[in-house]
Amino acid sequence: MSSLNENLSKLESINFSGFTDNSTFVESNFIFLSFTENINDALKHSRDALNRGAILVISQVDLSEEIKEKNIYDSNLENHKDKYLKALFNRSEKDIKVIGITGTNGKSSTAFFLHQLLSFTDLNATLLTNMHKVSDLENSELSPLTTPDKFLLHHYLKKSIDLKRDYFLMEVSSHAIDQGRICGLNFIAKSLTSFSQDHLDYHKNLEVYKETKKSFFNQADKNNVVSIDCDLGEELASENNSILTVSVKKKKANLFLESNLIKTPWGDLENFLPFKSEPMVSNFLCALGLYGKISGGIDLEPDMLKNLKTLPGRLQRVSLFENKFSYIDYAHSPDAISSVLDYLKNRYKGKIITIFGCGGERDTLKREEMGKIVEEKSHFQIITNDNPRNEDPDEIIYEIKKGMNSKNHEIIFDRKKAILEGLKKLKTSEPDSVLLIAGKGHENFQVIKDQEIHFNDLEVLKELKNVI
């Protein structure tokens, strides 16, 4: 058996078109990686890969007698996975620059804003988000995760390099950090957008979740941008004085919105932002900080800021009746829905009607808190199904109601009927009232038991508007 370094050297001279650990995905001129320790399974899948056009098999068991010149054997392949992935792509900073964005809320919006800022100055980027999956690349629908598995992620990177992208912008979830899906990536810049309770079904408690997020940031990093409107951001900034800080609340931050000016280390910008909500402004400041760090400054014209677009399903306003509006937002955590309701309360003088729920088989501890927040900050609440999955909807709503004391709410399991009822209440409400439909945002589906049913809040809203 050759050493790891010898194996990696062999890869440098091999021309290939892609690689995978699933033999059914093999195409002509691919490299197949087999991680099984079962010799029969390894042979079966390796033969399948070779028949499909693979030029090389890297395996955890020795297949040399069967495959001879087409096998690299490494008994410790699983532990060496990241080194092989890096060698296969032979990436360097000159090929593509990877930027990672993490946070409980705001990852997609921050990446989306940064993508636009780069495009304004003729820099092109691949955008990998929970919303878009992968912009402008084929087969972007393949990833069901915020951050794809290593092989799909590296597939997207290779395609981006082939298309001569300057940057690769990606969301980095806490699950991806914990599961090592981003190991081996060379991030030139990172951002923390926010931190609050979420995903405790996976991380078990808030401290573990916090430490997972924190582990993404290295004190030696020079291009970190963090929001100090959360405790984790403050902690990271105190440990690394090269971190660029942003805030919508604390003037000590490096980037801060003050009156009609956006204060930055590279000079002030006039505030021509087409949105006013604190979460959206905070996401933009994170994006602007990243842009300034990687560009060495901010050379932006006022019209550029005026033309910034927000993601669908993120505080998306829909005009309904005269002087009455609806907002669709992805808010599905206590902090996110609290921020949205604060914004609506400050902007509108009438009633706030909120339609919301909580996902099944996800963090159960946030349900009671969300019920409490929505009751406190809206005048009427309609509790409905989000994505109940295989969990009993009655149980989900029971846990939400633990945080609610008044009887000023209604339970309507059917989300379409809930939106219809919300529209009826909005229509009869006083002027300057607003309906918030929270939780699903841009999503085009609803997961009930094992079925994924087409459902889009905006589509339903527009359909029902015409029938009441």
Determine contact, residues 434/352, Cβ cutoff 8 Å.
yes
DSSP tag of 68: G
SS3 313: coil
Chain mean position to CA 239: 25
DSSP tag of 228: T
Q: What string of DSSP letters covers 158-218? A: HHHHHTT-SEEEEE--HHHHHTTTTTT--EEEEEE----S--HHHHSSHHHHHHHHHTT--
Mean pLDDT confidence for 149-175:
85
Determine contact, residues 255/245, Cβ cutoff 8 Å.
yes
Full-model pTM: 0.85
**Residue 130: pLDDT over 70:** no
> φ and ψ at 448, to 5 degrees?
-125, 115
Output the pLDDT for position 288: 98
Mean pLDDT confidence for 335-362:
95
Please tell me which residue, 18 or 404, carries the higher pLDDT value.
404
Nearest CA to 353 out of 427, 280, 276, 416 is that of 427
Angle between helices 334-347 and 278-295 (to 10 degrees): 110
**Residue 72: pLDDT over 90:** yes
Output the pLDDT for position 92: 47
Please tell me which residue, 417 or 362, carries the higher pLDDT value.
417
Q: Distance between CA 365 and CA 467 in Å, rounded?
A: 38
DSSP tag of 91: -
**Residue 134: pLDDT over 80:** no
**Residue 175: pLDDT over 60:** yes
Mean pLDDT confidence for 231-238:
96
Output the pLDDT for position 117: 96
Output the pLDDT for position 200: 63
User: Any bridge partners for residue 434, and if so which?
Assistant: 325, 352
SS3 241: coil
Q: Distance between CA 284 and CA 38 in Å, rounded?
A: 50
Determine contact, residues 14/89, Cβ cutoff 8 Å.
no
**Residue 34: pLDDT over 80:** yes
Q: Of 101-105, 196-200, 441-445, which gets the smallest average pLDDT?
A: 196-200
Those residues whose C-beta lies under 8 Å from the C-beta of residue 247, and which sit 6 or more positions away, are 227, 228, 229, 253, 255, 256, 282, 285
Nearest CA to 288 out of 340, 337, 227 is that of 227
Q: Distance between CA 457 and CA 338 in Å, rounded?
A: 20
Determine contact, residues 388/396, Cβ cutoff 8 Å.
yes
Q: Distance between CA 224 and CA 10 in Å, rounded?
A: 36
What is the tens place of the pLDDT at every residue in 389-401? Answer: 999 999 999 999 9
Q: Distance between CA 210 and CA 298 in Å, rounded?
A: 31
| Domains observed in the chain | 4-89 (3.40.1390.10), 97-306 (3.40.1190.10), 316-465 (3.90.190.20)
Please tell me which residue, 468 or 71, carries the higher pLDDT value.
71
Q: Distance between CA 353 and CA 345 in Å, rounded?
A: 11
Output the pLDDT for position 162: 80
> φ and ψ at 127, to 5 degrees?
-115, 115
DSSP tag of 314: S
Torsion angle in degrees (nearest 10) through CA of 138, 139, 141, 147: -90
> φ and ψ at 406, to 5 degrees?
-80, 170
Nearest CA to 115 out of 256, 284, 277 is that of 284
CB atoms within 10 A of CB 421: 20
Which structure tokens are listed for 385? Answer: 């199904």
What is the tens place of the pLDDT at every residue in 291-312? Answer: 999 999 998 888 899 999 998 8
Mean pLDDT confidence for 9-17:
84
**Residue 354: pLDDT over 80:** yes
Q: Distance between CA 369 and CA 374 in Å, rounded?
A: 9
DSSP tag of 102: E
CB atoms within 10 A of CB 394: 11
pLDDT, the chain, mean: 90
> φ and ψ at 233, to 5 degrees?
-60, -45
